[in-house]
């Protein structure tokens, strides 16, 4: 059988729920690869690069399925995996090094978006740089590098008073957020996820999902925070609902989300699979929050749900991702 290495984050025994999810993804991909008559070989990506190089050279895989999300527990090192695979000249799935680096640094990707004329909320960086086009309101303090809503909760939403106070609040939250952070203008309204997968015609937009915040009180921020993603017995987890069906009056909005997501796909040179997250304000205007070049592939996650809605079996999607990488 042809050997495919599933390169995943090196998970410690005391890892948090979001990190452990990488192993669930590896299991799901392994099952899909067996259905496709490949031999899956899971391999943790160690920060000791010589060790990882030795393992990869010994295994001599046909291709690497890259799902590395963190290195040594840090999202800011996510680009090391594709960088090393580029160096070894081993083909790999998913987005290339440059796209992975730029989009994983959320403030940097927002600069690219704004330069390209794609609407993204105002933001303030820790060095005091303020990318502002409108009057300040409420801001979410978010990690610059970490995904999976690390450190994000309802206390992350604060009212803008002045730049000095916001900067002090960012510095105070830096450790909880896993390092560098930024403050992003909060868009009151609806939230959407747009998953994209490569097929023979390029990027294919899967059915668009809206996140519904059921029974949230008026004073509770409607955000997909850490609890909503990972704490199964929490109110947030059980009341953040995904839906794919829309009323006829949303047709224009859905078309706009699709077109903007594909513009992001082209702008950042994405490939394989990705997800673009949006907020839509109360006037129906879409705002790009971030681009996820390594979205979760767990069976219960949003990407798998979009595949099911599209009538694409999980192993078929894995095959599309592999075939896209082999064509490069």
- CB-CB contact of 106 with 113 (8 Å): no
pLDDT reported for residue 309: 98
Q: What is the pLDDT of residue 308?
A: 97
- What pTM was computed for the model? 0.95
Q: CATH topology for 188-208+244-326? A: D-amino Acid Aminotransferase; Chain A, domain 1 (3.30.470)
pLDDT of 313 reads: 98
The pLDDT value given to residue 19: 86
Strands (E), the chain: 2-9, 38-45, 63-66, 123-125, 130-131, 138-143, 157-159, 181-185, 189-199, 202-205, 209-213, 240-243, 273-281, 286-292
CA angle 155, 158, 161 (to 5 degrees): 150
Q: Residue 91's pLDDT is what?
A: 97
What are the residue boundaries of the structural domains of the chain, listed by start? 2-92, 120-185, 188-208+244-326
Q: 123, 183 in Cβ contact below 8 A?
A: yes
Give average pLDDT by consecutive 10-residue segment, the chain, 328 residues. Answer: 95 84 95 98 95 97 96 92 98 97 97 98 96 92 90 93 94 92 96 95 95 95 93 95 97 98 98 98 97 94 97 97 91
Q: Which pLDDT does position 328 carry in this prediction?
A: 67
The residue behind tokens 């680009």 is 79
Of 3.90.700.10, 3.40.50.20, 1.10.3720.10, 3.20.20.70, the CATH number of 2-92 is 3.40.50.20
CB 145 within 8 A of CB 106: yes
CA distance 197 to 135: 37
On the question of a common fold for 2-92 and 188-208+244-326, the answer reads no
Collapse the DSSP code of 251 into the 3-class scheme (helix H, G, I; strand E, B; otherwise coil) and give the result. helix
- Pairing relation of β-strands 209-213 and 189-199? antiparallel
- Residue 215 class from Cβ within 10 Å (0-12 exposed, 13-18 middle, 19+ buried)? exposed
Strands ordered across the beta sheet of 63-66: 38-45, 2-9, 63-66
């Amino acid at each position: 059988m042809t050997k495919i290495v599933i390169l995943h984050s090196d998970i410690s025994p005391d890892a948090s729920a979001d990190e452990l999810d990488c192993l669930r993804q590896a299991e799901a991909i392994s099952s899909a690869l067996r259905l496709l008559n490949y031999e899956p070989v899971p391999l943790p990506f160690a920060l000791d690069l010589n060790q990882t190089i030795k393992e990869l050279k010994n295994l001599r895989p046909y291709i690497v399925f890259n799902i590395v999300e963190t290195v040594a527990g840090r999202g800011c090192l996510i680009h090391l995996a594709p960088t090393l695979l580029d160096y070894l000249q081993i083909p790999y799935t998913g987005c290339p090094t440059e796209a992975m680096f730029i989009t994983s640094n959320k403030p940097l990707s927002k600069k690219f978006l704004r330069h390209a004329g794609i609407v993204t909320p105002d933001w303030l960086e820790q060095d005091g740089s303020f990318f502002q086009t409108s009057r300040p309101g409420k801001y979410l303090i978010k990690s610059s590098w970490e995904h999976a809503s690390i450190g994000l909760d309802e206390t992350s939403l604060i009212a803008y008073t002045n730049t000095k106070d916001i900067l002090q609040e960012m510095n105070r939250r830096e450790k909880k957020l896993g390092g560098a952070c930024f403050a992003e203008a909060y868009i009151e309204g609806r939230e959407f996820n747009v998953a994209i997968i490569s097929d023979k015609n390029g990027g294919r937009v899967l059915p668009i999902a809206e996140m519904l915040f059921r029974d949230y009180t008026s004073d509770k921020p409607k955000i997909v925070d850490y609890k909503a993603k990972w704490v199964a017995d929490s109110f947030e987890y059980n009341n953040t609902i995904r839906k794919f069906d829309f009323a006829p009056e949303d047709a224009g909005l859905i078309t706009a989300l699709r077109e903007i997501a594909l513009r992001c796909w082209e702008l950042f040179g994405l490939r394989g699979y990705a997800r673009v997250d949006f907020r839509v304000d109360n006037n129906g205007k879409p705002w790009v929050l971030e681009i996820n070049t390594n979205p979760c592939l767990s069976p219960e996650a949003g990407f798998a749900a979009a595949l099911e809605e599209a009538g694409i079996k999980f192993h078929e999607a894995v095959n599309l991702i592999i075939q896209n990488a082999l064509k490069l």
